[in-house]
Structure 1
Amino acid sequence: MVANEQIPKSIWAKKLDEVFGLDLRSLAAFRIGIALVLLADLGIRFGDVVAHYTDAGVMPRSLLAQISKPWHWSLHAISGEPIFQVLLFTIAAVMAIAMLVGYHTRIATIASWVLLISLHNRNPSLIFAADDVLRALMFWAMFLPLGASYSIESALNSANHKLPARVVSGATVALIFQQCFIYIFSAAFKTRSPVWTEGTAVYYSLSFDQYATPIGHFLLNFPALLTLFTYVTLVLEWVAPLLLFVPVRNSFFRMCAVITFVMLHAGFGLTLNLGIFPFLSIFSWLAFLPSSFWHALHKRLQTPARQGLKIYFDADCGFCKKVVHLLRTLLILPGTPLLMAQEYPDIYADMQAYNSWVVEDWQGKRHFKFAGIVYIVSLSPVFFFLVPLLNWKPVMAAGTKFYEAVATNRKIAGRFTKPFKFRPIQVRPSRLLNILALLLLLYTFVWNVSSYAPDAFKRKVWQSTEFVGRATRLDQSWSIFAPGPPRDDGWYVIPGRLQNGSEVDIFRSGNPVSWDKPSLGLRGTIYNNMQWRTYFINLNRAIGQRLYPFYGQYLCRTWNAKHPGEQSLKSFDVYFMDERTVPPGEKQTVEKKQTWQQSCS
């Protein structure tokens, strides 16, 4: 009787693992993708570090204090000096790199999350959809074993037991539901607008020139196709995330969901200028790749050359042992045997004769020194494209000399790998963290429902807990192009009067003033990046009246710092050429609006 009662439990446990479990390799791919996005985002933002994050820019701390929401804290707001911002950017980049390679992964992920929130809160006028998605993903990433595969930690794993292929925890459940919240609540907001239910939403999206790409603009010539895209997008956001929960043939349906959303976001990226958003969204779906995907990929990559590869290292050299373990993981050759040369007399003789490790290929040929590295790289499924460069004679000669220098100075070289230590990895979900993750998931769900239906919960009760969402930035509202796409399209013209009496357009790098609509390609150079694009969109909205005085002062300072004397700026006006998007078939009109006047005296 007892045995019969245990059978359903094992079946249920298996189903729970299928639906809510995530493969460690998928989590590693997710980690690498998110870390690359963090680094790219930091690099883009760093180009405007003074303009966007110091007191000399468009958002001094005096203005931030006026517009910041309660509990939106920021380490970046401690100082308004550029050197302080450069320091925080540098720390954030180091933490993102550590996350990328999987070194002290959990600490690096937590630090990256903290600095990400701090950066976003420092200038809320730059925030757009990708920032909200990135914060949400980074929050749940802190609870996940991101460093258990394809990482420095996994390369130096000294545990005797084999790690499980998959992990099920409160955090895996939370990440799956979080991904669903992004799309389903976005779809819920969209259904409130007739432009989505009537099929014109994609038309309005691609007509918004501040986002549209040339490809997106070209598609406006096919109205029937735009209607189809509108309905397909809405249906996919409602239904496709639910494929993650199908209990039968879950791997197949997961793969369908991943492919669907990768293609959807690739389409977004081709038709709309959305910054990191398409890449971030695509990378986020890597976490849900099923184990069957990795099994099939592994089988496909098992060529005779990879199966026959053997690497022999000096057992008396701790530095050498670490390097071969790191190389095997970095080059993604997980099945390669790493052997101690001393246990094979003929191999050991070659090692001593060449003062080198020994790399043996599948045909028994031996490679030494830098040539051994080149051969291993040629088998890497990711970095094989580097082989022509590595085989180039100058690179080969320099690489060989470098290898020989390291080989004869192992003790000195060992100092560089001293921080990397062999440690056991344990993938055991903590009961406390599971409970905490599930409670925060429930909180996040309530917040999303509250953002969609503000009267769904008693206001006083909900207000007493809002500080949690504000402080952790789980304050979510997935109204992406919802209820409807923006229609307040147009472009800026900023005629400036110089001390010598001439007039130039400050917004277009001092070119002659032109009121003509700039081409889509020119707009890309004007806005420079997604942060400036978002900022100028906000200038045309309610918050713009608070932003304008400081933007005006910033323009005066930056122009006059580069143009002294008679070329300095005396005053300027800001005009917005309002080209509000009209329904399909109607004639577009443009209204010239003066939105700001500024004196630089």
Structure 2
Amino acid sequence: MPAESRRDRWRRALARRVGIDARALAAFRVAVGLLVLADLGLRARHLTAFYTDAGVLPRSTLAETAPALASLSVHARVGSWRGQAALFALTAAAAAAVVVGYRTRAATAGTCYLLLSLYLRNRYVLNGGDGLLALSLLFGVFLPLGGRWSVDAVRSADRPRRVATPATAAFCLQLVVVYLANAGFKLHGGAWTSGRAVRYVLELEQFSVRLGPYATAFPELLVAVNWLWIGMLAASPVLVLATGRRRVLAVAAYAAAHVGMLLTMRLGLFPLVVVAMLSIYLPAPVWDRLERVVAPAAGRTAGLQDRLRARLRDDPTLPSSVARAGRVAGTVVVAVLLVGSVVWPATALAGVERPGEAADVETDGYVWQLFAPTPPTTIRWVVAPATLATGERVDALDGSAVDWTPPDAADTYPSTLWHRYLAETRNAGGATRRPLGAYLCRHGAPGRKAAVRSVSVYLVEKPIPAVGGGDRRRIEVVSRDCNPTRPDRATAASGSHFAGRDHGPVWPATASSSGSATTSASTAAASSPTCCSPSPG
């Protein structure tokens, strides 16, 4: 008996730490569904540009450069904006069903599949938040997200209060794995271990927005924030190990850190996705208090719930053997997901050399490596001079006057998606970048009536002040004559150093002729080392 009692105590202690309150799962469900709707809204603004054959990645280019992705994406079966709009609407309907908790498991699975399909259609406009959002939905398929605060809960007599299963354990560990992996990468970077990294990041104008630029005036404070964040990442197991009030304080601290990211950096939905994931760690007393606060409003919906209950029928009960097989399969899948999420970053981390002053990779993409091992030290902005049929020269992306020295690099990108696309494709081959020129010939210079006669896209970069600053340099991404009888060129190696303000003519490419559109980034970099070599720091 004593041994059995001890075993029971261990089980209760484990359940307290890896179990999830059913109301926390409901809040997470609502948050994730709303985030999917927000993500769709942001992407729908650029539906033609990023998801149709008339955009920067037509299906022919996707099939040529990534045939496996093209075969897996249902969005790659459709090339028109109408077809993509229909798929967007279908995904939005599934996400709305997740929000209200109607046929929750099926809606979650459908949303996950359609969102992954959308992401595979154009991988150049993704970041770490997108990966976490899809992963959250995938875990959600195996969690009882509709147990509370849902249409499914109205028609069910079963109202679970707390859920402790292999799926909840794996999901509780998932965010901790992300934090620990990121801590490992940061500890391999000289900028992080010297306390300089946060200042580097906030001096990157393409990422630093809202309060970020003002924070750079306090370098000593940023050193403290640097070490505080590394400490929090390393201490992230506290989210699972702590209980009660200590866990609430831990969740509040991590949520505050991500809200701070939202207020200082342009990272898409990433901070909000992590805050949604943090909600699953909140214990029962938090939800008890929340229910007491909203009880008066909830009482006014009692009549609606009764009418719903009268109209909705319970789902038929599955045979016990089928239900048991489903649970076993679900356990295997979540175990594979968790193991994969550990092995993937561990393998990548093993290839990082210490002290790890990494190449200047701008993207905020991989969630394991967010600004690690070493953040970039180069400010980059985009300039896209286009010549109209009238002879006027304007910016092809927004129709404004061409400005080589804008006051804020972030403002030169039409949106976060355009920033991601240009950051991800700047070193890609010509086959990937060539459609960009064609797209801007058709849709460039918005708000201008005259047709675009020729267009070029440049990334202009300069070192951040923290590493001493320096001269600016231009890197030609693509250049195109919009006359259909004349070919375009796509190159990443026509950089040139320059100083001062320059509104003069676009400089010609030096790494490819006007008749070549397939020069790879590696070949171009070798032929023009002054263009694409990383900045010092």
2:327 aligned with 1:430: yes
Name the SS of the counterpart of 1:430 in structure 2: helix
Residue identity over aligned pairs, in percent, reads 29
- 2:237 corresponds in structure 1 to 242
Once the two structures are superposed, what CA deviation does each residue of 1:5-62 show, in whole Å capped at 9, x if it has no partner? Answer: 3211221121111111000000000000000000000111111111110110001012
- 1:485 corresponds in structure 2 to 375
- 1:331 corresponds in structure 2 to none
Note closer, same or farther for the CA distance 1:300–1:54 as it changes in structure 2 (3 Å cut): closer
Kept in 1: contact 2:155–2:313 (CA 8 A): yes
What is the deviation of 1:489? Answer: 1.8
- 2:452 corresponds in structure 1 to 569
Pick aligned residue for 1:9 from 7, 10, 26: 7
Pick aligned residue for 2:340 from 429, 437, 443: 443
Kept in 2: contact 1:447–1:476 (CA 8 A): no
Note closer, same or farther for the CA distance 1:498–1:310 as it changes in structure 2 (3 Å cut): closer
Name the SS of the counterpart of 1:483 in structure 2: coil
**What is the rounded CA distance, in whole Å, between the counterparts of 1:238 and 1:311 in structure 2?**
45
What is the deviation of 1:132? Answer: 1.3
Q: Which structure has more RCO (C-alpha within 8 Å, separation ≥ 6)? A: 1
Note closer, same or farther for the CA distance 1:312–1:298 as it changes in structure 2 (3 Å cut): closer
**What is the rounded CA distance, in whole Å, between the counterparts of 1:26 and 1:170 in structure 2?**
17
- 1:519 corresponds in structure 2 to 408
Name the SS of the counterpart of 2:444 in structure 1: helix
What is the deviation of 1:228? Answer: 0.8
- 1:189 corresponds in structure 2 to 185
Comparing 180-189 with 23-32, which one deviates more in the overlay?
180-189
- 1:175 corresponds in structure 2 to 171
- 1:31 corresponds in structure 2 to 29
2:423 aligned with 1:533: no
Once the two structures are superposed, what CA deviation does each residue of 1:165-198 show, in whole Å capped at 9, x if it has no partner? Answer: 1111111111112111211101111111110000
Kept in 1: contact 2:397–2:414 (CA 8 A): no
**What is the rounded CA distance, in whole Å, between the counterparts of 1:561 and 1:310 in structure 2?**
49
Name the SS of the counterpart of 2:341 in structure 1: helix
What is the deviation of 1:438? Answer: 2.2
Note closer, same or farther for the CA distance 1:33–1:501 as it changes in structure 2 (3 Å cut): same
What is the deviation of 1:98? Answer: 0.3
Name the SS of the counterpart of 1:221 in structure 2: coil
Kept in 1: contact 2:153–2:159 (CA 8 A): no
- 1:589 corresponds in structure 2 to 471
Note closer, same or farther for the CA distance 1:289–1:596 as it changes in structure 2 (3 Å cut): same
Kept in 1: contact 2:183–2:230 (CA 8 A): yes
Kept in 2: contact 1:552–1:598 (CA 8 A): yes
2:388 aligned with 1:498: yes
Note closer, same or farther for the CA distance 1:454–1:253 as it changes in structure 2 (3 Å cut): same
What is the deviation of 1:87? Answer: 1.3
Which structure 2 segments of 5+ residues have no match?
A: 353-364, 484-537
Note closer, same or farther for the CA distance 1:271–1:18 as it changes in structure 2 (3 Å cut): same
What is the deviation of 1:573? Answer: 2.6
What is the deviation of 1:254? Answer: 2.2
Note closer, same or farther for the CA distance 1:549–1:476 as it changes in structure 2 (3 Å cut): closer
**What is the rounded CA distance, in whole Å, between the counterparts of 2:420 and 2:154 in structure 1?**
42
What is the deviation of 1:258? Answer: 1.2
Once the two structures are superposed, what CA deviation does each residue of 1:60-106 show, in whole Å capped at 9, x if it has no partner? Answer: 01211233274672110012122211111111000000000000000
**What is the rounded CA distance, in whole Å, between the counterparts of 1:577 and 1:476 in structure 2?**
24
Name the SS of the counterpart of 1:579 in structure 2: strand
- 1:559 corresponds in structure 2 to 444
- 2:519 corresponds in structure 1 to none
Kept in 1: contact 2:240–2:281 (CA 8 A): no
Kept in 2: contact 1:55–1:61 (CA 8 A): yes
Note closer, same or farther for the CA distance 1:439–1:501 as it changes in structure 2 (3 Å cut): closer
Kept in 1: contact 2:462–2:469 (CA 8 A): no
- 2:106 corresponds in structure 1 to 107
Once the two structures are superposed, what CA deviation does each residue of 1:525-555 show, in whole Å capped at 9, x if it has no partner? Answer: x433321121122243x12644321100000
Alignment of 1:61-460 (within 5 A): 61-68=59-66, 70=68, 73-157=72-156, 159=157, 163-239=159-235, 241-246=236-241, 250-299=243-292, 321-323=306-308, 418=311, 420-423=312-315, 430-453=327-350
**What is the rounded CA distance, in whole Å, between the counterparts of 1:283 and 1:199 in structure 2?**
29
- 1:548 corresponds in structure 2 to 433
What is the deviation of 1:582? Answer: 4.8
Which structure 1 segments of 5+ residues have no match?
A: 314-318, 326-416, 456-474
**What is the rounded CA distance, in whole Å, between the counterparts of 1:439 and 1:597 in structure 2?**
45
> TM-score normalized by structure 1?
0.72
What is the deviation of 1:154? Answer: 0.6
**What is the rounded CA distance, in whole Å, between the counterparts of 2:297 and 2:121 in structure 1?**
49
RMSD: 2.8
**What is the rounded CA distance, in whole Å, between the counterparts of 1:310 and 1:527 in structure 2?**
47
Pick aligned residue for 2:43 from 37, 42, 45: 45
Q: Say which one has the larger Rg.
A: 1
**What is the rounded CA distance, in whole Å, between the counterparts of 1:87 and 1:430 in structure 2?**
34
**What is the rounded CA distance, in whole Å, between the counterparts of 2:407 and 2:440 in structure 1?**
21
Amino acid at match of 1:54: T
The answer to which structure has the higher helix fraction is 1
Amino acid at match of 1:570: R
- 1:354 corresponds in structure 2 to none
What is the deviation of 1:423? Answer: 5.0
Kept in 1: contact 2:17–2:240 (CA 8 A): yes
Amino acid at match of 2:53: D
